[in-house]
Structure 1
Amino acid sequence: MTVASDIEIARAAKKKPIREIGDRLGIPEDALLPFGHDKAKISAEFIDGLKDRPNGKLILVTAINPTPAGEGKTTTTVGLGDGLNAIGKKAAICIREASLGPCFGMKGGAAGGGYAQVVPMEDMNLHFTGDFHAITSAHNLLSAMIDNHIYWGNELEIDQRRVVWRRVMDMNDRALRDVVTSLGGVANGFPRQGGFDITVASEVMAILCLATDLADLQRRLGDIIVAYRRDRTAITCREIKADGAMTVLLQQAMQPNIVQTLENNPAFVHGGPFANIAHGCNSVIATTTALKLADYVVTEAGFGADLGAEKFMNIKCRKAGLSPDCVVLVATIRAMKMNGGVTKDNLGSENVDAVRDGCENLGRHIGNLKSFGVPVVVAINHFISDTEAEVAAVKDYVASQGAEAYLCKHWADGSAGITELATRVAQVADSGVSQFAPLYRDELPLFEKIEAIAKRIYRADEVLADKKIRDQLRQWEADGFGDLPICMAKTQYSFTTDPNLRGAPRGHSVPVREVRLSAGAGFVVVICGEIMTMPGLPRVPSAEAIGLNDAGQIEGLF
């Protein structure tokens, strides 16, 4: 059987006008700010009027550690949302916006696949509604104002050696990781060492995704620590007087975007922090708005459950007062084989023993998710090469872990291929059995919070951090930041900091390279191992194959 490519399927979509999609959720046309005919933002005034409505059920989709075989977490998120609507439920989807870095690097698009996609795909994977550009501009406005303050006399007595606010751009560019600014003479300012992160790692991105409204956004922006004086006292964005202008730049970006799936179901696409270097969830305002408008909200958290789901629980839910009713853990037979030692070239051959060996990674994630008190259902994202014996092996293993697994064929069949999972997830969500609780208490010391994640989620024996890092954490506690949660920056490919170590290793160490205080976002970033906050392009970037065909259509993006 020949299946059309993702882009061919997306181009053939029978999209409805965005006002009709909004109408399905009771959003009046005058509350939609359209970007063309197929996407819109939802007005802040309308959202503000929803506060007294009850919340629907919150369903989180997460996955095992990613492998080159592919897991299909976003595809499953979209498919499950369509599946819930297909069985008569009023459901909406909440996912993140795509970064240009991975699109032109190695990942390609980020809007699902096959017959479980969100459209318009080309727009979503490129400029969309301009949110990322607004975040980049707001971030770099602050950078410019810091250097300008120093140039015009440095009234705040900024120690130029201790400027901690870096610049950002939404592209993978390793050459910008460490740079020297202001070369070229007196007119260009005072030379100093700086650097760039990718936009999705920006604290401004995290703030936009955690803020509840414009007032909260400006307060959080003002709290950003940008530099220190010689006496080590902090200087904030508010003192630089940039928070007001940054809020102006972000006013429209704060409004959630609404689009549709191939089956014309509503999808909120807003915010886009990576889960390996940031908190990996779509915006709080999009999720809370969807919960007021739909009976079931299906959202996702980036990469494996050890990163995205952990941060969803410990950061997003903690800060926003959310409580998931069910977690769907996505796995594939192919990924189980890779975790069981099979090379990518041999994944098409049946190997039940390798599947069983690779299930240990799946089991670790099931146990971790259950430790938050939330029921877990496993979705086996079907590939055509999967055999009945291999699927049975995964189902038997999952049952031995006290959970259920369902084979899902949404990639090929859309909602019709995932109705069994959708029915069970709705039952679990409605059952009220979830007893969600974060992994650690607010008052736990910062280093002990790091240890809690490393030991209870990664199963490490110890956290390695030198005296400088431990002293910095203690200083932040003395400064009043001890109650903040932890945002781990770590490779997504393994429970360890070694991306090549698959399965469910134990007895390893987690080396902490650096810690960063995100006072505005409200968490402490802990950078582990060799993870980079500005990725580089691969040897053969996806950009080499992207272009326009004779019909003016985009080719190579997906």
Structure 2
Amino acid sequence: MLSDIEISRQTSLIPIGQIAAVMGLSPHHYRCYGNTRAKIAINAAANRPKQGKLVVVTAVTPTPFGEGKTVTSIGLTQALHRLGHKVCACLRQPSMGPVFGIKGGAAGGGYSQVVPMEELNLHLTGDIHAVSSAHNLAAAALDARLHHEQRLGAEEFTRQSGLAALNIDAERIVWNRVMDHNDRALRSIHVGMGTNNGPERDCSFDITAASELMAVLALSRNLVDMRARIGRLLLAFNTAGKPITAEDLGVAGAMAAILREAIEPTLMQTINGAPCLIHTGPFANIAHGNSSIIADDIALRTSDIVVTEGGFGSDMGFEKFCNIKTRASGNAPDCAVLVVTLKALKSHAGIDAEEIKQPNLAALKQGFVNLQWHIANVKQYGVPVVVAINHFPEDTDAELRWLQQQVLASGANAVAISEAFAQGAKGATVLAGQVLACLTKPRHFKPLYQPEQGLMHNLQVLAERGYGAAGVELSPQALRDLTQIIALGGEQLPLCMAKTQMSISHDAKLKGAPTGFILPISRLQLHAGAGFVTAFAGNIMTMPGLGLTPGYLKLDINARGEIIGF
């Protein structure tokens, strides 16, 4: 079989204007970046009713072997397109952290791809860089304001600048810097060293996908909403303990100006010419892990079926889709597709990499509890669920038959084997048929909790019903954070849990479907612009590091200037 990039390059691309026309968009609704990409105006379909059904693709708890969630999302989109349905995919833009790190690109794979895949995985139209730039402008503005106020004194600063002194507390700046790479050396830094560069203080970098500004971009309805959210960003506290926002600092307008074009989704296409909107890139383990409300809104007004995905397992991106994104957008899922592989379930039984491809029904039965948990988790939101078994060549018929029987016995609405990677649209046709059948079923969507019940109550609900914990325990720091958040008016905001993606619990070593554990909350952070409170379950890194053999080692260009190694 050809490599992913060879398949991508052999695809006959349809001019992107024609893809836009399929969606009913006129040339004044978009701006082309060559023939392969186009920025779509956020009001492109504002005068149309929402007509589409929304399908959210999620998965079992991730394993090192990969479950193929994006392959399934794209393959399903391609299959629906092949069957004659008006369909659009809505996916997140890949961060270059994973691209150059361990995970690699996020264009799908095999014959289920968004193309050209190298354009998608490297920069695209620069939205993530715009988020980095706007975020770091606020960081630079904070340090500059701190420097000038301390250098001149409050009274003289006001006389010379005409601005009221903010009296920033250098020890209580909560806005870090960001970059779109994995760089563990920047997790803890010291800034302001040298003559006239201070004051000195400790600081850190996060990866751009973890920026609250990325969440703001993803959850905003329009430019006015985005501008208001940016103004509410909490940057620091003053020496009297009062909050300082981006509006207070006077930087919110400039940040919004930087993001003026980044708020527009980018239109691309799948291998068989189905439209795909690419927008925003928050990670689901440290952010809310879903593409933008604006992309979904455009797709729902221009297509009959919209396929999107939540990051990682159903305890991560799908939970946040239902409890954060749906509250902001009003668009609840009509159907969920839950992706699994035989290898994933065997991995949850403790089978190592050398034996994972071998038939092992006993291990499959042991690891099935993880899939069973995720089926029940999705169903508690009142959403029909189709389990997609992503097929690998070494899978045995006996194990596949057993798994399909158990899936239906566990309450899933349907199950289908997907061969989208090897066969593209054709390999996902059965899955598409099952999804279409589920879209005719009634939906009784209900979120897991109500924000007005308060943070502590909802933390308990999320721990117990969202993860299967016996309870939740806040550290002394988290208790102090809770008191401060309540004082700042954030007690009735939704929760965004930052935890490991490798387990339903907070502990990556707890596989399967753990129960009886206590979920430890190390700290809480108010994200007033995004409109949620992040709860950190344990020691969660918001800046990944590069491993021993990172992905960038494989990438290069050849004599024709083509990128190789993806």
Determine the C-alpha separation between the residues in 2 that align with 1:13 and 1:531: 40
Q: Deviations over 1:205-228 (max 9, x none)?
A: 000000011111110000001011
Q: Deviations over 1:382-437 (max 9, x none)?
A: 10111111111211111111112111111111111111111121121133x11111
Q: Deviations over 1:522-542 (max 9, x none)?
A: 011111123200011111111
Determine the C-alpha separation between the residues in 2 that align with 1:479 and 1:275: 26
Alpha-carbon offset, residue 111 of structure 1: 0.8
Alpha-carbon offset, residue 347 of structure 1: 1.9
Letter in 1 for 2:22: R
Residue number among 277, 297, 302 corresponding to 2:306 in the alignment: 297
Does residue 154 of structure 2 align to residue 156 of structure 1?
no
Residue number among 361, 382, 387 corresponding to 1:378 in the alignment: 387
TM-score by length of 2: 0.96
Alpha-carbon offset, residue 550 of structure 1: 3.2
Q: Counterpart in 2 of 1:181?
A: 191
Determine the C-alpha separation between the residues in 1 that align with 2:356 and 2:558: 33
Determine the C-alpha separation between the residues in 2 that align with 1:67 and 1:388: 22
Q: Superposed, which structure 2 residues align to 1:126-205 within 5 Å?
A: 126-153=122-149, 155-185=165-195, 187-205=196-214
Letter in 1 for 2:129: H
SS in 2 for 1:457: helix
Any conservation in 2 of the 1:324–1:374 contact (CA below 8 Å)? yes
Residue number among 105, 109, 114 corresponding to 2:110 in the alignment: 114
Q: Counterpart in 2 of 1:40?
A: 38
SS in 1 for 2:328: helix
Any conservation in 2 of the 1:447–1:470 contact (CA below 8 Å)? no
Q: Counterpart in 2 of 1:10?
A: 8
Determine the C-alpha separation between the residues in 2 that align with 1:401 and 1:209: 34
Residue number among 356, 367, 383 corresponding to 1:347 in the alignment: 356
Determine the C-alpha separation between the residues in 2 that align with 1:147 and 1:340: 50
Determine the C-alpha separation between the residues in 1 that align with 2:562 and 2:539: 38
Any conservation in 2 of the 1:356–1:397 contact (CA below 8 Å)? no
Q: Counterpart in 2 of 1:65?
A: 61
Q: Superposed, which structure 2 residues align to 1:449-460 within 5 Å?
A: 449-460=458-469
Letter in 1 for 2:252: D
Does residue 242 of structure 2 align to residue 233 of structure 1?
yes
Determine the C-alpha separation between the residues in 1 that align with 2:248 and 2:547: 40
Letter in 2 for 1:98: P
Residue number among 244, 250, 273 corresponding to 1:264 in the alignment: 273
SS in 2 for 1:316: helix
Q: Deviations over 1:447-499 (max 9, x none)?
A: 22122111112111122212331232133223221111011111101012221
Q: Counterpart in 1 of 2:490?
A: 481
Q: Counterpart in 2 of 1:332?
A: 341
Does residue 327 of structure 2 align to residue 318 of structure 1?
yes
Any conservation in 2 of the 1:355–1:393 contact (CA below 8 Å)? no
Letter in 2 for 1:41: K
Q: Counterpart in 1 of 2:228?
A: 219
Q: Counterpart in 1 of 2:548?
A: 539
Does residue 72 of structure 2 align to residue 76 of structure 1?
yes
Does residue 52 of structure 2 align to residue 56 of structure 1?
yes
Letter in 2 for 1:422: A
Q: Is there any run of 5+ residues in structure 1 with no aligned partner, and where?
A: none
Letter in 2 for 1:111: A
Q: Counterpart in 2 of 1:253?
A: 262
Alpha-carbon offset, residue 254 of structure 1: 0.4
TM-score by length of 1: 0.97
Alpha-carbon offset, residue 291 of structure 1: 0.4
Any conservation in 1 of the 2:42–2:294 contact (CA below 8 Å)? no
Residue number among 465, 474, 478 corresponding to 2:474 in the alignment: 465
Any conservation in 1 of the 2:88–2:306 contact (CA below 8 Å)? yes
Q: Counterpart in 2 of 1:552?
A: 561
Letter in 2 for 1:12: Q
Superposed CA RMSD: 1.2
Letter in 2 for 1:327: A
Letter in 2 for 1:270: H
Any conservation in 2 of the 1:108–1:542 contact (CA below 8 Å)? yes
Determine the C-alpha separation between the residues in 1 that align with 2:203 and 2:50: 47
Which runs of at least 4 in structure 1 moved beyond 3 Å after TM superposition?
none
Does residue 100 of structure 2 align to residue 100 of structure 1?
no
Determine the C-alpha separation between the residues in 2 that align with 1:85 and 1:541: 36
Q: Is there any run of 5+ residues in structure 2 with no aligned partner, and where?
A: 155-164
SS in 2 for 1:161: strand
Determine the C-alpha separation between the residues in 2 that align with 1:64 and 1:357: 14
Determine the C-alpha separation between the residues in 2 that align with 1:209 and 1:127: 17
Task: Point out the more displaced range, 445-454 or 215-224.
Answer: 445-454
Q: Superposed, which structure 2 residues align to 1:346-495 within 5 Å?
A: 346-403=355-412, 404-431=414-441, 433-495=442-504
Alpha-carbon offset, residue 250 of structure 1: 0.3
Determine the C-alpha separation between the residues in 1 that align with 2:488 and 2:226: 22
Alpha-carbon offset, residue 45 of structure 1: 4.2
Q: Deviations over 1:51-98 (max 9, x none)?
A: x41331000000001111210000000011111112221110000000
Does residue 133 of structure 2 align to residue 124 of structure 1?
no
Any conservation in 1 of the 2:44–2:298 contact (CA below 8 Å)? no
SS in 1 for 2:468: coil
Q: Deviations over 1:315-352 (max 9, x none)?
A: 00111111110000000011111112221111221111
Letter in 2 for 1:16: I
Any conservation in 2 of the 1:42–1:255 contact (CA below 8 Å)? yes
Any conservation in 2 of the 1:209–1:284 contact (CA below 8 Å)? yes
Determine the C-alpha separation between the residues in 2 that align with 1:251 and 1:208: 10
Q: Counterpart in 2 of 1:90?
A: 86
Determine the C-alpha separation between the residues in 1 that align with 2:484 and 2:255: 29
Determine the C-alpha separation between the residues in 1 that align with 2:430 and 2:108: 20
Aligned residues: 551
Task: Point out the more displaced range, 271-280 or 176-185.
Answer: 176-185
Any conservation in 1 of the 2:469–2:519 contact (CA below 8 Å)? yes
Determine the C-alpha separation between the residues in 1 that align with 2:87 and 2:353: 36
Any conservation in 1 of the 2:218–2:280 contact (CA below 8 Å)? yes
Determine the C-alpha separation between the residues in 1 that align with 2:431 and 2:231: 44
Letter in 2 for 1:75: V
Alpha-carbon offset, residue 517 of structure 1: 0.9
Alpha-carbon offset, residue 131 of structure 1: 0.3
Alpha-carbon offset, residue 200 of structure 1: 0.1
**Matched residues, percent identical?**
45
